[in-house]
Structure 1
Amino acid sequence: MRWGLSLSLSEELAEPAVVAEVAAAAEASGWDGVFVWDHLWNRTGAPFADPWVTLAAIAGATQRVTIGTMVTALPRRRTQLVAQATSTLDRLSGGRMVLGLGLGVDSHGEFSAFDEAAATDRDRAAALDRGIESLVPMLAGAAVPRAGDRVTTVPCVQRPRCPIWIAGRVDRTAGPRRVARHHLEGLALVSTDGWMPDHVTGALAASGLTAGDLDVALVGGTHPDPSGLAAAGATWCVPEISPGATAAEALALAGRAPDEAAPHREVFGR
């Protein structure tokens, strides 16, 4: 089992230099990954820092940890710019980038406030599928037919490209099925509750895949039985440092080993 931190880039953690310091502390303490949220603002209205610039700061402050978005709502991004930023970050980090993708939600107006067309779940799902189909060859540095058979992106260091993880909920099957349909590398299951092995086996069954075929990251919530989760097929536990956490709280937890820090609900998942 690998352990990652997922950071909300708002309030005191909207400062890239602070997040880079948190990431460096996490790497020194034995964490395996540092991931960042991709939003415009949080539920209190506090704005977010840009995830791509922040990931560049993290890449420069670390040597070993996996980095990535957790997750990017591809329907409100331009696919070619996401491909360009992702492959550049993979090169900057020496091949440590993971791209997390999801539908996004409009509960705080991140789509509708800017007159985005993909404001319904159905529209966003269709946009995500179209975007994935374009992203996969772009990240590999391949020619893109819709761009006149031109190469639009420098290739990732990882071959054939960096991993793509798709967000999913434990009570829905769309995420696992999307991973299988597009032949992607991982599933980022999201929950605010305690993780159970059945959550993992259910997601794998929905995808038609088996343990070992893909990464399964359990994002948010609590992880009371890591060994049982690993036996069921989970490969990552990723507790979240949620909106409202101070820089001091985040640094203190990142400075602890994962098995010591993960139970601290006063910062994780509040």
Structure 2
Amino acid sequence: MDTRQVLLADAFAADPGGGVPVAVLPDAADLGNEQVRAVARELAALVTTVPTDSPPESLRAVGPRGTADPHAVAVAAIAVAAERGWLDGDDDGFTLTIAGADLDVTVAGDGRAWVDIDEPDPQTADVDVGAVADALGIDGATLRDVGADLPPFRVSAGVEALAVPVNFLEHLGSATPDPAALGALAGVDVVCPFTFDTLAADTACHARTFVPRDTSASRAGSARSWVRETGSEVPVVPGVAAGVATHLVREGVVEAAEPVVEGGHYLDRPGRVHVDPDGPRVGGRAVLSLDGRVTVPPAGDDDILEL
């Protein structure tokens, strides 16, 4: 059997077990996507492969059943490569090709990896706040309290998102969303209720990200379908966090030059996404939680992997 090194890195996390889990396979470019996907299923993580003898020029982004969040993959792979000394000292900025898209990446002196995102293009959303509240399982008053000054808005930065402000964290935390109802009213990849009532003093807002149930062919076949295989709630989606923070800065609601969005706590995977609205780009660290070996079955073999 083919045994390979595997590093499990938690992207956009401060501690092991937080953020978005990404399995990094060093020097595994010869493995087929289905073999890499088998690792993703075994570890319940996104997976990428990176070289150890030269700066990476392209990365695979593979999820348990499809593609994976390119921003989380980039941050995890580059943070691990920098920490392991796989990058030269001059490799502080370069371009990565992930899933056919070119992403500019910068490694800061503090080890944080920054990845460019698409312009989020925030737009006020014409939605029924009461219907959104019902779909989220939240009292409508908690949305209207904030919505009078900051109405719901849509952002597009890797995924299409509907962002909805909520007055307090206790109400956001008690949300019991109906994925089918969200899918019927939103027409987006994710719905992101957020609040300025945060757990950490240095964060701009606390966000939760829910995935509507939408089986339409247009969305099911989308290149962004990776977000739909993770369940009804996602720990953090970097592009969505960046879109929300960018809109809040441009509207003058948040004054921080590089706001931080927290999320994932209700899934026990707390994460922090740093946002540079001028880029726009997202930044974060990856925390190494596993350094081991995995036995990969031959291509076309459905055997269970061994760790």
Calculate the TM-score normalised by the size of structure 2. 0.24
Structure number with higher strand proportion: 2
Structure number with higher helix proportion: 1
Calculate the TM-score normalised by the size of structure 1. 0.26
RCO higher in structure (CA 8 A, sep ≥6): 2
**Which has the greater radius of gyration?**
2
